[in-house]
Structures are given as structure tokens and as C-alpha cells.
Amino acid sequence: MIRVTERMEAKGDVSDSSFTSVTSLTLKCPKKIPQQYVLPSFQRSNHSLLDHISTEFPIIDLSMLNHPAHMPKLVNEVGAACKKLGFFQVINHGIPSWVMKDAIDSAEELFRLPTDKKMCFASADVHAPVRYGTSMNHVIDKVLFWRDFIKHYANPISEWIHLWPSDPPSYREKMGSYAKAANTLQKQLMEVIMESLGLNADYLHDDIEEGSQVMDVNCYPACPEPDLALGMPPHTDYGTLTILNQSQQGLQIMDQDKKWHAVPFVQGALIVRLGDQFEVLSNGRYKSIRHRAILDTHKQRLSIASIHSMPMEKKVGPAPELIDEQHPIAYKEGSFSGFLDHISVKSVSEEDTYLDTLKIHEA
């Protein structure tokens, strides 16, 4: 979905049927990008004007996660990061670096396969449990984005993994190990975040246990004109939280003053972002962070976003415990079940996103 009124399945109208993926496109035109990928100038990432890489973004050490004496400090740090931006990085998170790297390597191998091998997963159905797509599935205001992706459901892994690509042969094992580890980390983080809101650590425990996990595996090939295009448009994720594993720098986030910042690459760290469901659940105390992916002239970038959300059928509204006189209810209950394409994008015309439509404005 992109906006409330239009799904992101726009196809054909601006796409050139002679190619099927950005990966194959890069082999054909090494110097220039096709016109469809060129963004209007005000939407470009404009590297030279970008704020310096900020060192202010929180990096939170999780090594003390299981030490009750250190929990209050951790809860405070996480709470402060969620309140300010809905964004932080974590180190010593318990996922071995080889598990992270294996997942990235298996994704890279997958995208390197001939297009026809990946096209068998292509689907126009956003509810398909496995879905391969290219920029052609991703048209906003007639602009395409420089990204190929595969998405697959992951929770519970035993139910879905046999549907994932079997080529490259180690994909299921390597991506599966990472997906399981990311889900465990997500549950630990949810407990800390719930506590930081003053709720019980096991608040919504069963919903979190049965919640949806979608692995959004992104490939942004090297782009000959990175300043003219984007890998992913500015958007917020729809879920509760997203854990991102990446091969190199390329993510940018928007701060409260609507300024873009490049997120520094920290070896071994994972990026944690809050999504729309958390903004609603927290009655607006925490924000869903707007972000985008930029491109590099020389290097392809891989990222794996493990996107976690409440069970699909569940309506999400503000926690009653977080509504009081100082904090009147700020959101209507929302049903996010149609949001498996997972991103909430404002188009050039700045139409409301789904999250905007849930906001209750005071008279």
C-alpha cells in the first residue's frame, strides 16, 4: 500500500517491459539510469546538502539484557531513544556476526541468480507468503525505485520455510537461522520497550508471540547516478518494530525537524526502528520513524528488514493504560491487515498515510 486510496501494485504504465529487475538493468546500461528512475529534484537525496553523518544516534549495548540490576538503565536508554526518534542501533545483541553475515551472503547469492529463477516468486498479491518484486512493483507518482526485493513470512518458521526459495541451496538454512534469531531479539526488545512505557514487560505477550514476521530482503544494485534516484522512497514501516541487518551504509532517517540524516554503519550492530503500530499503541508517546534508502555508485547494498507486527487480524489501538487527562486518546483503532506491502508512503501530493487517518485531532 502507499496511500489510503491506492495500492502499490501499479504496473506497466511507466515500466519498460524489456527488463524485469534492477539487477538485470544495471548490466544493460552502465552509465545512465532510465528516465523512470529519475526523481523530481526536491525529492532527491542530494548528498552534498545532507547533514553530516550524525554521531548522536543512540547505540545501545544489550549485553546486560539478562542482568536485572542493569535493567533500569537499559529501559531508560531504550525509552529515551524511542521517544526522541523511534530509532536506535543495538550492539552485543546476542546474534552472532556469522549468522548476520550468512544471511546477507545468501541474499546476495539469491539476487545474483538469473531473473527467471526469481520470477517464479513474482506475485501481484501482497498477501502471498513469498513474493519477489522489482522496482516495477514500486511506482509512486510515476517514479520507479532502484531496488529488487524478496519478502517472505517467517513466524512460525516451521510453517513457512518450505515455501522460501530453495536456490541457492543454503538460503533456507542461513536466512532461517537469522530470522529465528531476529524474532527472539524482537521479543526481548518488546519487553524492554513495554517497560519503558510503564507497562508490564509481558504486555500483549500472546499477540507478540503469535505476531507476524515478514523478512523484507532488499537488493540495491550499484547505481550510475545515485544522486538522481532512491533505493526506497521515504516511508514508515507499518508494524511494531523492525530489525535491520545491512551490508553497508545506505539508510537515512528523518528527524523531528524533517531533516534527513545518514545512519552510520556500525560493524556488528543491528538497526531497530519503531513502526506505525507502536506509535498508535503508545498513544503517540513513541514515533514511527520515517526513513529511506539511498544508493551508491560503486557498491551494491543488501539489507534484511525483519518486520514484526501484531497478528494480522488484530486491531491496534492505544493502550488504555497510556490514556489519561494529560494524554487524551490520540489515535483511533486501526486494522493493519492490508499492509503487507509494509510501507506507508507520502506521495508528492502529500496525501495522508494510513497512520495520518488514525490520528484524532483535538477540536
Q: Out of 131, 172, 285, 291, name the contact with ligand AKG by CB under 6 A.
A: 291
Amino acid identity at 263: V
Distance of alpha carbon 224 from alpha carbon 362, whole angstroms: 48
List beta partners, residue 302.
219
Q: Out of 104, 197, 293, 295, name the contact with ligand AKG by CB under 6 A.
A: 293
Site size toward ligand AKG, by CB under 6 A = 13
279 counts as binding Fe ion under rule CB under 5 A = no
8 counts as binding ligand AKG under rule CB under 6 A = no
Torsion on CA atoms 308, 314, 316, 322, rounded to nearest 10: -100
Backbone angles phi, psi at 5, to 5 degrees: -95, -15
Q: What share of the chain is helix, strand, coil (3-state, %, to 5)?
A: 30, 20, 50
Report 326-345 residues binding ligand AKG (CB under 6 A). Answer: 343
Distance of alpha carbon 89 from alpha carbon 271, whole angstroms: 4
Distance of alpha carbon 98 from alpha carbon 96, whole angstroms: 5
Task: Name the binder of 283 from Fe ion, ligand AKG, none, CB < 5-8 A by kind.
Answer: none
Taking the complex as a whole, the smallest distance from the CB of residue 291 to Fe ion amounts, in Å, to: 6
Taking the complex as a whole, the smallest distance from the CB of residue 342 to Fe ion amounts, in Å, to: 7
Give the residue from 175, 163, 157 showing the smallest Cα distance to 120: 163
Give the residue from 206, 279, 216 showing the smallest Cα distance to 242: 216
251 counts as binding ligand AKG under rule CB under 6 A = yes
Taking the complex as a whole, the smallest distance from the CB of residue 275 to ligand AKG amounts, in Å, to: 9
237 counts as binding Fe ion under rule CB under 5 A = yes
Q: Out of 21, 135, 288, 303, name the contact with ligand AKG by CB under 6 A.
A: 303
Taking the complex as a whole, the smallest distance from the CB of residue 292 to Fe ion amounts, in Å, to: 8
Choices 56-64, 104-112, 244-252, 320-328 (CB under 6 A): range interacting with ligand AKG:
244-252
Q: Under the rule (CB under 6 A), what is the footprint of ligand AKG?
A: 216, 218, 232, 237, 244, 246, 250-251, 291, 293, 303, 305, 343
